[in-house]
Amino acid sequence: MVKFLTDPLDRTFGALADPTRRAILARLLRHGSQSASELARPFDVSLVAVMKHINVLADAGLIRRRKIGRTVHCHLRPAPMRNAIAWLERNEKFWSERLDALAAYVEAQEDT
């Protein structure tokens, strides 16, 4: 379960693994700050289920929750995403080289 991950990068990728959470982040990116009710509106799940997703995103540091009265407002926090992108970029070179080598090997095998 995502909530038991301790490494910030693991929590970020764990939170991003779920399509509903990615959709919530996309809505916040498009529309800015939104209440939990506004975020829940397009999903065919209960507000309680959306709040659980919001909790995972907040635990990963991807969003910030702020309660005003009885309304929970959510805002994007970009720092964890920047860290994930930096990690992906560091590993991209390694995997690109490996895939290029694999493609060259397969082509050489087809030529023989």
Domain around 91: 2-111
71: left (phi over 0), alpha (psi -120 to 50) or beta: beta
- Tokens found for residue 35: 């209440």
Please determine, for residue 16, whether its predicted confidence score (pLDDT) is greater than 80.
yes
Determine the pLDDT at residue 96. Answer: 87
Q: Which pTM does this prediction carry?
A: 0.79
Handedness of CA 19, 20, 24, 30 (dihedral sign): positive
CA 28 to each of CA 16, 64, 89, 101: distance values in angstroms, whole numbers, following the listed order: 14, 11, 24, 40
CATH number at residue 24: 1.10.10.10
**52-93 pLDDT tens trace:** 999 999 999 999 999 999 999 999 999 999 999 999 998 888
Query: Domain tally for the chain?
Result: 1
Percentage of the chain with pLDDT > 70?
A: 96
